[in-house]
Amino acid sequence: MAEKLHPSSERVAEALRELGATGEIVVLPESAPTAVTAAAQLGCEVGAIANSLIFDADGAPLLVLTSGAHRVDVDLVARTAGVAKVRRASPEFVKEATGQTIGGVAPVGHPAPVRTLVDTWLGKHDVVWAAGGHAHTVFPTTFDELLRITGGTAVDVE
């Protein structure tokens, strides 16, 4: 019998199917709210984890999918995105924009499209793991597929 997914992960799984993504949601035995904890459970490099970070970009949500090996340079991202200021979003802002909570934000499955930037560093990995809508879920994908399913733009974030 298949394990029942959290409703947020179910929405992500449905979005992945609709978008023709190749990976399916994987339920982790323990919560993985950080790239380090996810990589440890998956047995992969931390750089192969796609951190989904929501920023407040002049009042609009901006999703940055960054390699777990990187820190986002908000000034660089602001210039790249053509906005005056990019700052870390509050938990409430994240929930409103994505329908998901910090620590499990997926690249897809949001109530409305969110402008997305994808760290070019993720292209160095054959398989990239992204959050599945909840801190206990992830899914395998590729850099090219992330760009396609999110409508994202490849950028340097660091």
Q: What is the CATH number of the domain that holds 150?
A: 3.90.960.10
Indicate the range of 31-35, 40-44, 146-150 predicted with least confidence. Answer: 31-35
Sign of CA dihedral 147, 152, 153, 156: negative
Over 60: is that where the pLDDT of 78 sits?
yes
Answer yes or no: is 2 within a domain: no
Over 70: is that where the pLDDT of 124 sits?
yes
HSE, CB side, 13 Å, CA atoms: give it for residue 40: 9
Question: Taking residues 99-117, what's their average pLDDT?
Answer: 96
Over 70: is that where the pLDDT of 28 sits?
yes
Over 70: is that where the pLDDT of 67 sits?
yes
Answer yes or no: is 33 within a domain: yes
Answer yes or no: is 48 within a domain: yes
Answer yes or no: is 115 within a domain: yes
The runs of H, that is alpha helices, within 87-136 are: 91-98
- Structural domains of the chain, count: 1
Answer yes or no: is 1 within a domain: no
The position carrying tokens 């396609």 is: 148
Q: Rounded to an integer, what distance in angstroms lies between the CA atom of residue 134 and that of residue 151?
A: 22
The pLDDT value given to residue 33? 86
Amino acid at site 102: I
Domain that holds residue 124: 7-155
Q: Other CB atoms closer than 10 Å to residue 6's CB: what's the count?
A: 18
Over 80: is that where the pLDDT of 77 sits?
yes
The pLDDT value given to residue 4? 85
The pLDDT value given to residue 1? 38
Supply the DSSP string of 3-19, one letter for each residue. Answer: PPPPHHHHHHHHHHHHT
Percent of the chain whose predicted confidence (pLDDT) is above 90: 96
Over 80: is that where the pLDDT of 137 sits?
yes
DSSP one-letter code for 20: T
